[in-house]
């Protein structure tokens, strides 16, 4: 992996990443970076159970101090969750990796600022991003509490009267994963076989990470039941 990386993430198959990469290359040219590598993947940056193999590989290289500059089109290409984004920024600072974004070009001023102003600007930016994360989380909790209520049968429902909670898609997927696991299929075989349809009616295959997590949960529950029976 090269020292300068353009990382581009799109979350669905129908998104076209070419324009975002083109913008990143304009930024790279502006920064006078000559030797760089473009790495792309189509994964969600918000869902915890989705494994991003390429991004995880970049993170490992950063911890080895192999990556000096990470260029993205927008900071949400890294994480949509602000708390995770703040943690990633702090990690990059420790291991000497600078982050640049085409849509947040104020980062250039922070990276170029002389000491000690660069430290002060970076600290202020992290503080603001952390505060925004807390505010975002608080508002989300308030919206959730305001939008749910109990119906006459005592079930939790949304303000429209729909039964509250995630659809049963994930439970069906988990059941299918466990069934294949008990049939002797390995994790990679299962991830290539089990699929679901997202809100845009796109066919999606479950990640290796989600399969592994589901199997570990199943094994843990099975062991607990056996201990109780003993």
Q: Which residues contact 42 (CB under 8 A, 6 or more apart)?
A: 9, 10, 11, 12, 13, 15
pLDDT for 228: 46
Contact (Cβ atoms closer than 8 angstroms) between residue 22 and residue 55: no
State pLDDT tens for residues 22-41.
999 999 999 999 899 999 98
Mean pLDDT score, 89-98? 91
Residues 214, 215, 216, 218, CA torsion sign: positive
Rounded alpha-carbon distances, angstroms, from residue 203 to 52, 55, 189? 18, 22, 17
CA atoms within 13 A on the CB side of 86: 15
Confidence (pLDDT) at 170: 76
β 98-101/37-42 pair status: unpaired
Please give the mean pLDDT across all residues of the chain: 80
Q: What is residue 62's predicted lDDT score, i.e. its pLDDT?
A: 96
The pLDDT of residue 45 is 59
The pLDDT tens digits of the residues spanning 104-130 come to 888 888 888 887 777 888 878 887 776
Q: In degrees rounded to 5, what are phi and psi of residue 79?
A: -145, 145
* Residue 92 main-chain phi, psi, to 5 deg: -60, -35
- Tokens representing 171 are 């439970």
Query: What are the start-end ranges of the E strands in the chain?
Result: 4-10, 37-42, 69-72, 98-101, 148-150, 156-158, 195-197, 203-205
Cα 100 to Cα 104: distance, rounded to the nearest angstrom: 8
pLDDT of 41-79, one tens digit each?
887 655 555 688 999 999 999 999 999 999 999 888 888
Q: At what angle do helices 208-229 and 169-182 cross, to 10 degrees?
A: 70
pLDDT tops 90 at residue 13: no
Confidence of residue 169 (pLDDT cuts 50, 70, 90): low
């Amino acid at each position: 992996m090269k020292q300068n990386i353009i990382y581009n993430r799109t979350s669905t198959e129908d998104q076209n990443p070419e324009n975002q990469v083109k913008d990143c290359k304009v930024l790279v040219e502006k920064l006078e970076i000559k030797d760089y590598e473009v790495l792309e993947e189509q994964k969600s940056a918000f869902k915890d159970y989705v494994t991003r193999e390429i991004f995880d590989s970049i993170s490992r290289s950063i911890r080895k101090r192999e990556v000096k500059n990470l260029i993205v089109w927008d900071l949400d290409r890294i994480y949509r969750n602000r708390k995770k984004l703040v943690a990633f920024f702090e990690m990059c600072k420790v291991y000497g990796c600078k982050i640049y974004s085409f849509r947040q070009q104020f980062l250039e001023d922070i990276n170029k600022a002389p000491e000690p102003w660069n430290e002060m600007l970076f600290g202020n930016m992290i503080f603001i991003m952390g505060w925004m994360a807390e505010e975002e989380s608080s508002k989300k909790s308030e919206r959730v509490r305001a939008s749910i209520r109990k119906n006459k049968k005592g079930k939790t429902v949304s303000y429209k009267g729909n039964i509250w909670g995630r659809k049963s898609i994930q439970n069906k997927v988990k059941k299918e994963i466990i069934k294949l696991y008990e049939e002797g299929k390995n994790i990679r075989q299962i991830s290539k076989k089990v699929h679901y349809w997202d809100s845009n009616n796109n066919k999606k295959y479950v990640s290796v990470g989600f399969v592994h997590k589901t199997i570990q949960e199943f094994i843990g529950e099975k062991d607990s039941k056996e201990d109780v029976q003993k």
